[in-house]
Amino acid sequence: METSLGHVRANVKNLQKAIGWYETHLGFKVEALWPPEKPNYAHFEKGNGAIFAIMEHPDYPSPGRFNFYIDDVNELWKELKARVTVVEELFDTEYGSTKFTIADLDGNELGFIQA
């Protein structure tokens, strides 16, 4: 399976404090916050690289998430769904992509996305 790493998310204890740290110490700039009504997620400008995001996670400290872009998410979903731990079932996002998320043996979240 060919993939490209498109999105890495680190889980944080306090979103606003973490945003401040990344802005102050690394010069990152927030590109988007989600959900609009009460954000717990922020991703930063990506330039030419993968999206780097942080999310206030209720089970902090917890594993992070790695999102891979693939050509046929439906086919991979059919192949994997009965053999792995599913975190999010296959769904269409508000951004026009389709994705699902599984967990590896150590609880790291692996998302597979078709844009």
Query: What tens-digit pLDDT sequence spans the chain (115 residues)?
Result: 677 888 888 888 899 999 998 898 778 899 999 998 999 999 998 778 788 899 998 877 777 888 888 899 999 999 999 999 999 999 999 889 999 999 987 788 889 999 8
**pLDDT given for residue 22 in this prediction:** 85
**pLDDT given for residue 35 in this prediction:** 92
Q: The tokens of 109 are what?
A: 């979240």
State the Cα–Cα distance between residues 57 and 101, nearest whole angstrom.
16
Three-state secondary structure string covering 85-109: EEEEEEEECCCCCEEEEEECCCCCE
State the Cα–Cα distance between residues 96 and 76, nearest whole angstrom.
18
Give every strand in the sheet of 30-34, ordered side by side: 30-34, 41-44, 51-56, 4-12, 65-69, 109-114, 98-103, 85-92
State the Cα–Cα distance between residues 85 and 50, nearest whole angstrom.
25
**pLDDT given for residue 62 in this prediction:** 77
**pLDDT given for residue 32 in this prediction:** 94
**pLDDT given for residue 30 in this prediction:** 96
Give the chain's domains with CATH numbers. Answer: 4-114 (3.10.180.10)
How many other C-beta atoms are found inside a 10 Å radius of the C-beta of residue 40? 14
